[in-house]
Amino acid sequence: MSVVADVLQEGDIARLAHMHVAALPESLVSLLGEPYARAFYRYCASASEELLLVERERGELSGACLVSLAPETLSRRLWTRTPLLLFAPLAMRRLPLRAMLLGAARPAAPQQPRGPEILLIFTAPELRGQGLGARLLACCEQQLRSRGLDKLLVKTRDDPANRALQFYERAQFHPIAARSKYGKRLLLLEKSLQGLLSTT
């Protein structure tokens, strides 16, 4: 098995989209459907503002980690550089429109600190619990340190039953703020990479 930031073929994009929808059914990308997920990964694989790492087992994709180096501009870029406008109307019944509208009406949360943000880490469902996520995260941290970046952010559901929250806490992320998005309570967590800079 190896974690790489390599060139993805169309078959890899299709596998990533399928795995994403299976592993993260509540994500907005999943709610827009597998065809949009393919367009999303096609964009992320080519965007200089995103870092897409994949885990391969015997040549086949088994997991992925996606980090945005510019999360503050990601929504705008997805609207303008992917077919989001075409897919959103087709998925109106599946999207959390009420929560999205209520969220838009609320005062804006304090601005998030600048820095790279993990958008997602996932593995094929049958391979969960085998350390793939930890390897993807370690590779991500190494890539960011090599670019001179000193911290990493992530948002995840604020719920004690959320296994992702436990995963990030074990990886030494610390909560720095609470957020609400589309009716869901989220925690913004941060990990300092600064103390690790000298190890690369």
For the chain, what are the domain ranges?
2-199
Host H or E run for residue 105: helix 97-105
Global pTM?
A: 0.84
What is the reported pLDDT for 194?
Answer: 83
What is the reported pLDDT for 183?
Answer: 67
Q: pLDDT tens digit string along 157-191?
A: 999 899 899 999 999 999 999 887 666 789 999 99
Where does 2-199 sit in CATH, by number? Answer: 3.40.630.30
Q: What burial letters (b/e) apply to 106-140, b meaning 16+ CB within 10 Å?
A: eeeeeebeebbbbbbbbbbeebeeeebbebbbebb
What is the reported pLDDT for 94?
Answer: 60
What is the side-by-side strand order in the sheet with 184-192?
A: 2-4, 50-57, 60-68, 117-123, 151-157, 184-192, 174-181
**Per-residue tens of pLDDT for the chain, all 200 residues:** 445 556 788 999 999 999 999 988 888 899 899 999 999 999 999 999 999 999 988 888 999 999 999 999 998 999 999 998 888 776 666 655 444 444 444 444 557 789 999 999 998 888 788 889 999 999 999 999 999 999 999 999 999 899 899 999 999 999 999 887 666 789 999 999 986 544 43
What is the reported pLDDT for 165?
Answer: 92
Angle at 132 between CA 156 and CA 39, to 5 degrees: 65
Helix (H, G, I), strand (E, B) or coil at 69: coil
